[in-house]
Structure formats: structure tokens, C-alpha cells
Amino acid sequence: MTRHRQETHGAQSVTGGPPLLRQINQRKILAILRSEGPARVGELARHSGLSRPTVTHVLDQLSEAGLIDYLQDHPDGRGQLGRPARVARFRAEAGYVLGIDIGPHQTAVIVADLDGRSVATTRRSTSSAHDQHQLLAAVRSAIETALEQAGVTEQAVLSVAVGSPGIIDRRVGTVVRAPGLPGWTALDLGEELGRFFRCPVLLDNDVNLAVLGERWRGVAQDTDDVVFVLWGERVGAGICIDGEVHRGKAGAAGEIGYLTVLSKDAAVAEPDGEGRGPFEREVGARAIIRLAHELAARPGHTSSLAGRPTLDVPAVFAAAAADDPVGREVVDTVAARLAAGLAPLLLVLDPDMLVIGGGISRAGARIIDSVAAHLRRLVLVPTPVRLSALGQDAVVTGAVRQALSEVEQRLLPNPETARDGAD
Amino acid sequence: MTRHRQETHGAQSVTGGPPLLRQINQRKILAILRSEGPARVGELARHSGLSRPTVTHVLDQLSEAGLIDYLQDHPDGRGQLGRPARVARFRAEAGYVLGIDIGPHQTAVIVADLDGRSVATTRRSTSSAHDQHQLLAAVRSAIETALEQAGVTEQAVLSVAVGSPGIIDRRVGTVVRAPGLPGWTALDLGEELGRFFRCPVLLDNDVNLAVLGERWRGVAQDTDDVVFVLWGERVGAGICIDGEVHRGKAGAAGEIGYLTVLSKDAAVAEPDGEGRGPFEREVGARAIIRLAHELAARPGHTSSLAGRPTLDVPAVFAAAAADDPVGREVVDTVAARLAAGLAPLLLVLDPDMLVIGGGISRAGARIIDSVAAHLRRLVLVPTPVRLSALGQDAVVTGAVRQALSEVEQRLLPNPETARDGAD
């Protein structure tokens, strides 16, 4: 009630206002510095609508808190009365955030400053980790290496966001279900990683972070409603609606690996022995290799893929690019299958854009074009289909974005809302 | 900039504040009266955190604007110093809203006051309308009858919301595509209906309004993410995410009638001669009747449905309820088909609830239970499946809610946010 009175009736004097108002003014000035870059008191007063004495006072407070400092050499700065104009600058190095992507093959860590600039990046193979303990040790080692490279202490880390496969219970930071990672299911990852840091550790499904990454720095920067489909051994979708990740009531939104649209007869959404859903079994990496073996073994066909004891996805896609008939048939078949699974998603959401990423998508634009062509026949209103711009960095980039958002919500104003705040 | 200063620095005196602040206080007091019911000055001062003189002043302004009046006989009211306490009351009759549902068979109109209470309801058959002109005339006549019944003039109508089948371009109020209504496609319904009224006329897809209706007064009152599936001759979904209708980039979200999940071979999302999509052709009313004819005609079967020249959906469902083998087979078959189409929707969204409405759903709980049973095998995390509580009133109820929301955004505070505003 008291706080409300303050908000309504405001301050009676410029510098003697109540704490909340001071905080509002601090946020306003910080937001302008973050969005517009270094600025002098007069510029800040004009942008903020605050008086020059208020701006000066707020800058002193922010400087004391370590969030700004002063430049003496503003590019177009000129002194008043012969004195050099004090130019205030947001200290992006006042703190750091960590983005982490834990996958079945590798773990990636990015250390970024408060402007989101990457200061250090580490990748560590996790293929050889056979249990929870080894996997966590590899993750920890990657974090330590990244911090060391960046010259950043754990105390300077203000927020950590982690992407992991599986259905995540974000309230308690637990991986509820994660096929494909040894010992990962039922792991209290939030608590385990929380031991490394004093700051908040946010856990999310990796594809949910990938969609944030593409919206922040990838192909989906101008979209509000966008779907990121991870297409690799696993298949899953990250869904962004009105700029927010849609996770569903149990964190299971976008689990399209369990679609049964391609299954015959009495299909059920059940994982196989290795935790793969029905749709993943039809369009995942293993299905592609199996299909290539089958088609190449047909009598009467000549294919560069025939008779090769081992095949991998890049080899099959390279054959398709070289106009090998079997390669082309495989690509067209899996593209048609993927489109059959994605069509319901597009009919349901009618998003601004569909982004396809993951290991298989990196085989190139040809398969994306083929998927898009199949999709056009299956939906009412076509959706632009794009290849992920961030590739294997989509998840870890989204994790940095998520950690920054957490800091901004808790400590800093978001530069994107600066203009709203200043008008 | 000027306005911003006012917000930040606030008023210097209680009643002489700038217009914006006065408006904020008016909204605050109105919000309390709408959520808590009639109240005295002292109660309003306590709830709002405003002083008694400010409350009195605001009440005078609201009374002048016709938005409140005074009761003399508050249930638990006692006078101060022997005078009767003035009890202020929100005048829900200060204005009215109209909800309209235009369907291929009938048009429904509800006139409601500003508390959302229905004052009059009209239904008018539109089956005999053969073109745009006749349909619009029927709609207009239904509106006039409803207003007359309510004793409300057109001038007192503050907002109108209209639900129509089809893909709607809400920016310009045009029906982009509406199979099933004669001449409806490419109709500028917003402009046509706008001629009847001076107030805003909002046009939306009917299923989008149905989901709002169920969230407001139906089975989905405690949900944020809910999907309403209309199951009749047409099949479509209205999607509510975080309490907001999700419409998609072209207003085509939820157009699941065009799902091809049940189609064999090279299916395409194309309408048939009557504008029905592939999924509608498998699970719509006509498909049910065709299936019943086929199954009843098989040799060696005894069924009450055999040999009947005409069948309708209620007859088939009644037979199923009476344990007729063909009736039961039809119900189970179409329930399985519907579930196959809805499973992708649930895998994508993982909503709090799935509500099934429309003509076929009104055949009863048996078919809903059957759909739910099939769905459980097709998804990872089960979604509660409920029969629409509003039946044929879902769309028109949602239209009233939509019109009220428009008024609340433009003129009135929403009672649901009153507590946030007062604390």
C-alpha cells in the first residue's frame, strides 16, 4: 500500500525521492546507455525527460554500483566552459553470464559480457561419458576452461542458463525424461550445476533455447511466432509465440519426435529401446542410413552408395548432391516424411517462420528446399522455411540470451524496452 | 515526454493533479467497484490507498460520466454522525456490448451489460440465405430484434464482436476464406456490420471466440493454455496460449480441417468442391453418415441402422448408445480418426486442457471418452479432454467476452486486474 502511494504521487524533490523512484530513474538511464551507447548528461536528460541534476545524481549512484564509468574522450564530445564533458558508459564488463549446451556428443560453453558479447567459448566432447558422474565432470571441466580463458571469476558470473535434451521440469530444475543421454533422466541438473555457482542456474530443454538463439542472432530476428525444428538423431521443436517460449503444461510442448503420423495401423507414442519416438525412427539419422542401405542394395540399381559397408548421413547427402540416384531418392523420401510430420505443426500454429537446424539440416540447403516444397502442398498458408543460421551454436547462443534475460529482469533494464521507457 | 514527466513526478496536490493521474485514480476506483461490488468512500479509500477526499472527488467525476451512481441502502451500511453513508455502485447499464455468432445454419446475438450479464438473446435461422445479401439481412434482423428485446438503443452499444467461420483478416475485417457460407469468402464483413454501429466492430474466426467463451464461462475457466476443437460438419481449433488467442501470421492457426494425417499416398491440403479439407472429409458429419451407411450395408450384420434410407448423426450415436454393433463401430472409428488428427496438436502444444464442442460433440460424453482413450496412446503427456460446457452458445459467449475486453481496454478497468492495481 505504501509503495503504491509512492508510485502514484511520485517524488516531491529531485534527489530526495523514495527508493523506488530512484530505481526507476536508474533503470531509465541504464536503458538509454545500453541502447544508445555512451552519452553526456545533457543527452541523457533529453532522452530521459529527467532534469540534469537528477541525471547527474543517478549517474553517481550507478557509478558507485559499478554499472557505469566515465570516458574522457567521447568521439563527438566537447567541453562546456573549457572543461571536458563527462561521458557516461555502461560497463558491460560489470558482470558476466554463462550459456551452456549439454548434448549427447559435446558440451559447449560461452562466457558473455552484459552486452551479450562472447568473451570465451569452449567445446568438450562428451561422447565418452558413460554415466551421470562422468558427464557432469566433463561439463564442469568445460565451464572451468571457459572461465579461465575469459579471465572471469565464478563470483563475476551473474546468471547461468543450461540447455539439455529431454523434458525439463523448470520449477525444480530436473530432467524428467531424456532419452539418449546416459543417466540423464531424473537427474537434478539444476541442483548439481547450482553447486558450482552462487547465481541463479536456469535449466531448459535445448530446442527451447535454440529457438531463442535464432530469434536473437540467427535467421528469425524479425519474427514473433517461430518454430525451430531440431533434426538429427532426435527430432524436436522449440516454439516461440509472441516472443516467448511456449513450453506446455508439463514442459512437453514440441515433442514431435513422438508423432505417429507416418506409422501404420495401431501406432502408439512409445519410445523404442533407445528412447526414440515413432517419428524419430522414421526421419532421424539412423533411419536415413538404413534407408540408404536398403535402396542401394536393390538389384538393377547403380549407385555410388552400393556395397559400402558403412554409411553416414554426410555421405548419403554428398551422393545426392552429386546426382546419385539412390542419394537423391533417400533425400526426397526423408524430406517428404519430415514434411508430413511438420505439416500439422504449421496448420496448428501458422507461424511467421520455420527454422530447421540440427545435424541433418547441416547437410545443406538442398534438403531444406525439398522439405519446403513438400510442405507447400500440405498446408493452407505457406510458412517460410529457413536453414538455421547458427548451426551447432543455436542452443548455446539461446542459453546466453536466456541468462542475459534473467539478469535484465532481475538487475538491469532491457535495451529493447529503452525507447518505450524514455518516451 | 511531457506525459512521461507527469507519470514519474506525479501530482503535487490531491485533487489538482494532471489529467492522466486523475484518470489512473478513476480506473482504480472503478476497478474496485467492479470487482468488489458497491462500497462506501471509506472502504474505497482503504482498498485504493487514496485519501478520502481524493476518493470523493473521483466518485463525483465518475458519477458525472454516468459510470457510477449511489445507493442509499447498502446491506451492511451504517451512517456516520447519523447521516446515511453514500454507497457507490458501478452502473453496469451505462453501456452494452453485442456478441454475434454467424454460422451456416443460424445466427445468434447476445446483448450484455458491462458486467457481461446477458440482457437479451436472439437466434435466427440462416439456412435459407442463399447469398451474401440475404445472410446480411438475416444478421441485421437478428441484431434489431435483440436490441428491441433488451430495450437498448444502438447508441448505447459500446462494442460489437462477431464470430464467423473462415480465415479472417482482422486488420481490415475481411473474411479471407470461408467454405460453407454462401458468398462469405472475400466479404468485407467488418465494413458491412460497421454501417449498423458507430462503435468498434471486431471480427474473428468463430472457433477463436469459442475458446474465449469456454475460458470465461465454460469448462476451461482455470486454464491458460487451452484448445477448443469444433467438431461438426467443419473441424477447426481455437487456440489460447497464456490466456490470449493465438491466430497465426495469416489468421490460419488451428485450421486442422486441412490435416492430411489420415490420407493415404500423395495427400494434399486441398478443399473438395464444397470447401472441406482432407481431415473434415474423414471425421465430419457427412463422413460419419457415409460410414454408417457402408457398415450397415455389409452382409451378415444385424443393425438397427440397416436399410434406413436416411441417417443423421444423432441417429447413429443413439444406436451406439443402445449398443447397436454398427453404431458402436462407427463411433469408435471416428473417435480413433479424430484422435489421430488431434494428437499432433497436443504433442505440439501440451495444453492444460482440450475442449471438444460443435454439433457432433453434443451427441454426448461417450464419444468424448472414446476420443480421450485413443489420444492417451498417441501422446507423451496426457491432456484432460472435456466436452464443451457452453454447447451452441460457445461462440456467441466468446464474442460477448471479446467485446467486453475491447471496452475494458478502451474505457474501463478490467475487474480481474483490480487487485493488482490496488496493492
pLDDT of residue A411: 76
pLDDT of residue A136: 86
Q: What is the DSSP letter of B187?
A: B
Tell me, yes or no, whether B86 and B104 share the same domain: no
pLDDT for B311-361, tens place per residue? Answer: 888 899 889 989 999 999 999 999 999 999 999 999 999 999 999 999 888
Q: Phi and psi at residue B203, in whole multiples of 5°? A: -110, 135
Tell me, yes or no, whether A48 and A77 share the same domain: yes
Which range marks the domain in which residue A141 is found? 95-213+396-410
CB contact under 8 A, A347 and B1: no
Query: Which residues of chain A register pLDDT less than 50?
Result: 1-17, 77, 79, 265, 416-423
Tell me, yes or no, whether B285 and B384 share the same domain: yes
CA distance A69 to A105: 42
Alpha helices in A49-159 (DSSP H): 52-64, 132-150
Cβ-contact A413, A27 below 8 angstroms:
yes
Tell me, yes or no, whether B45 and B122 share the same domain: no
Give the pLDDT band (50/70/90) at residue B306: confident
Tell me, yes or no, whether B294 and B157 share the same domain: no
CATH of the domain at A260: 3.30.420.40
Please indicate whether residue B9 or residue A109 has the higher confidence score (pLDDT).
Answer: A109
Cβ-contact A210, A395 below 8 angstroms:
yes
Tell me, yes or no, whether A290 and A338 share the same domain: yes
Q: Which of residues 99-138 of B touch A (CB under 8 A)?
A: none
Cα–chain center distance at A79: 44
| Half-sphere CA count of A268, side-chain side, radius 13 A | 9
Tell me, yes or no, whether B84 and B98 share the same domain: no
Tell me, yes or no, whether A225 and A201 share the same domain: no
Tell me, yes or no, whether B71 and B111 share the same domain: no
Task: Compute the residue count for chain B.
Answer: 423
Whether residue A236 lies within 8 A of chain B, CB to CB, comes out as no
Tell me, yes or no, whether B405 and B324 share the same domain: no
Pairing of strands B201-205, B226-231: unpaired
Could you tell me if residue A415 is inside a domain?
A: no
CB contact under 8 A, B344 and A345: yes
Residue B17, pLDDT > 70, answer no
Q: What is the DSSP letter of A284?
A: S
The contacts of residue A171 (CB under 8 Å, 6+ apart) are none
Cell digits for A239? Answer: 516454439
Range with the poorest average pLDDT among B20-34, B71-85, B206-220, B304-318 = B71-85
pLDDT of residue A147: 97
Q: Please provide the average confidence, as pLDDT, over all residues in chain B.
A: 84
Query: How many domains, chain A?
Result: 3
CA distance A107 to A104: 8
Among the partner residues A4, A25, A256, nearest to B347 by beta-carbon distance:
A256
Whether residue B9 lies within 8 A of chain A, CB to CB, comes out as yes
Cell digits for B155? Answer: 447508441
What is the three-class DSSP state of B213? Answer: helix
CA distance A36 to A44: 10
pLDDT of residue A419: 40
User: Which of B90, B107, B142 corresponds to the end of one domain?
Assistant: B90
H or E element at residue B214: helix B206-217
pLDDT for B90-103, tens place per residue? Answer: 999 999 999 999 98
User: Between chain A and chain B, how many beta carbons pairs sit less than 8 Å apart?
Assistant: 175
Angle between helices A19-36 and A41-48 (to 10 degrees): 110
Residue B4, pLDDT > 50, answer no
Please indicate whether residue B11 or residue A230 has the higher confidence score (pLDDT).
Answer: A230
CB contact under 8 A, A348 and B347: no
Q: Buried b vs exposed e over B321-351: b needs ≥16 C-beta within 10 Å? A: eeebbbbbbbbebbbbbbbbbbbbbbbbbbb
Tell me, yes or no, whether B157 and B103 share the same domain: yes
CATH of the domain at B46: 1.10.10.10
CB contact under 8 A, A261 and B9: no
CA distance B209 to B215: 10
Could you tell me if residue A40 is inside a domain?
A: yes
